[in-house]
Amino acid sequence: MTPLLSGIRVVELSAVVMGPFAGQILADLGAEVIKIEPLGGDIARTAAPVGAGGGAMFLNNNRNKKVIAVDLKSAEGQAIAQRLVEECDVLLHNMRVDAIERLGLGFEAARALNPAIIHCSAIGFGQGGRYRDLPAFDDIIQAASGLAGLSTNFGHDPQFVPTNLADKVGALYTVYGVLAALVARAGGRREAMRIEAPMFEAVTSFLLNEHLAGATFGETGEGMGYKRLFARDRRPYRTLDGWLAVLPYTQPQWTRFFAEAGRSDILEAPWFADPVERNRRIGALYGELSGILATRSTRDWVETLTRLDIPCSPVRSMQDLIDDPHLADIGFFTPSGDYPPDVTRALPQPVVFEGVERVPDRAAPSLGADTREILAACGYDQRQIDGLAARGVIHDGAVALLAKTGSSAS
């Protein structure tokens, strides 16, 4: 944890990936993030594989937070959430808008409770369009945004990227929205602010950054799609004994590569020195690259290309990353903090702030672990807290409820 946002309190009402990942980044930066969970817990707690501290996905998206488990369907539970909102800087949720409204925590209601609230909705679709009420998960957004359809440019069926890309991209947009609002507050803005961070629009913007291409210029453009990325021979290349990614990008890099390969015919071609003409032939150049790389071993090419200062990397598997020497140098997977004994690897906040001391992380807490502490800080006395627990309004961590509720995810 890097304590840059110390003094900022975030109330998080979210589950699975998008909201929790955004909340974790804010917590990693030092904000006090209070996650409100239902009595059965965030469904990611039981998403396999599960260890002593819960599901791996939950552990990787909820460190450095405090948690309170509340029955938000009850009037008393809603009153607890509203009291927390009264005293926070940011309310972050990834619920559908009608659901957050029913809890009495929509923007207008939250502003009435806290006139300076930063109210951030990490949602599926922007509320200004016709899709606003549609349910959204990562696969749905990958399809809706055109991401899953990129593979059709190569004659393949649509395919999902095998990572929760839409959730995580949406989370990053959410975080920068919250940080910008906090900067505005530090600059003197005191009124409430509503932030909308919709996954559909976020991933569409992310995808079309380069692929809007000729459509940028309307009907006079050359069509959509950044042509270099759609070249059929832009891919990992087979070597004598493996696979290698190589990207000569500048003219000097292409020149050094073809000089190494002894291809004077390409170097002396009149179009080669003209970047516009060379780029028009990028597919053919990648084809030449493919044939040349197949003549040597991966190790030989890595040594040669590193000497020539041409970007390259062996194609690594996820398992290879566990033993990657660079990641070992920086202790990338080493847990920092109070993780359960069976957690031997954890993921860090990758941004490094020089001159700011990092403090040990707090592992994702067990369900209801901080309920009593949070309620006491809100002004509830011990008798009131005991009563809320007895009536089933809260879960205080004393008894695990996951088995009783049958909550599960896959």
Alpha helices in 103-247 (DSSP H): 107-113, 138-144, 165-186, 199-211, 227-230
Q: Are 60 and 51 in contact (CB under 8 A)?
A: no
Number of continuous H segments (helices) and E segments (strands) in the chain: 19, 12
Backbone φ and ψ for 409, nearest 5 degrees, come out as -145, 160
Q: What is the pLDDT of residue 220?
A: 63
Residues 11-47: tens digit of each pLDDT = 999 999 999 999 999 999 999 999 999 999 999 999 9
Q: Which domain holds residue 15?
A: 9-207+332-395
Pairing mode of beta strands 90-93, 9-13: parallel
- Are residues 203 and 106 part of one domain? yes
User: Predicted confidence band at 400 (pLDDT cuts at 50, 70, 90)?
Assistant: very low
Whether 304 shows a pLDDT value over 50: the answer reads yes
CA dist 79 to 30, 107, 283, 394, Å? Answer: 27, 16, 62, 12
CATH number reported for the structural domain that contains residue 381 in this entry: 3.40.50.10540
DSSP string of 65-115? EEEEEE-TTSHHHHHHHHHHHHT-SEEEE-S-HHHHHHTT-SHHHHHHH-T
Q: Tell me, yes or no, whether 111 lies in a domain.
A: yes
Give the separation between CA 159 and CA 187, rounded to whole angstroms: 45
Question: For the CA atoms of 346, 351, 355, 358, what is the dihedral angle to 10 degrees?
Answer: -20
Q: Are 392 and 38 in contact (CB under 8 A)?
A: no
**The domain boundary residue, chosen from 284, 314, 344:** 314
Q: Tell me, yes or no, whether 4 lies in a domain.
A: no
Nearest-5° Cα angle at 317, 315 to 318: 140
- Are residues 336 and 308 part of one domain? no
CATH number reported for the structural domain that contains residue 305 in this entry: 3.30.1540.10
**The domain boundary residue, chosen from 314, 349, 365:** 314
Q: Are 294 and 240 in contact (CB under 8 A)?
A: yes
- Are residues 248 and 189 part of one domain? no
Residues 49-76: tens digit of each pLDDT = 999 999 999 999 999 999 999 999 999 9
- Are residues 294 and 364 part of one domain? no
SS3 annotation, 355-390: CCCCCCECCCCCCCCCHHHHHHHCCCCHHHHHHHHH
- 3-state DSSP call for residue 123? strand
Residues 76-104: tens digit of each pLDDT = 999 999 999 999 999 999 999 999 999 99
Pairing mode of beta strands 65-70, 394-395: antiparallel
Q: What is the pLDDT of residue 406?
A: 40
Which tokens belong to 242?
A: 């493996």
- Are residues 286 and 157 part of one domain? no
Span 386-398, average pLDDT = 95
Residues 205-260: tens digit of each pLDDT = 999 999 999 999 987 667 899 988 999 899 999 999 999 999 999 999 999 999 99
Q: Tell me, yes or no, whether 381 lies in a domain.
A: yes
Q: What is the pLDDT of residue 218?
A: 87
Residues 118-166: tens digit of each pLDDT = 999 999 999 999 999 999 999 999 999 999 999 999 999 999 999 999 9
| pTM for the model | 0.93
Q: What is the pLDDT of residue 402?
A: 41
Q: Are 75 and 391 in contact (CB under 8 A)?
A: no
Q: What is the pLDDT of residue 219?
A: 72
Q: Tell me, yes or no, whether 268 lies in a domain.
A: yes
Residues 102-118: tens digit of each pLDDT = 999 999 999 999 999 99
CA atoms within 13 A on the CB side of 321: 8
User: Predicted confidence band at 201 (pLDDT cuts at 50, 70, 90)?
Assistant: very high
Q: Give the single-character DSSP code of 189.
A: -
Q: Tell me, yes or no, whether 1 lies in a domain.
A: no
User: Predicted confidence band at 377 (pLDDT cuts at 50, 70, 90)?
Assistant: very high
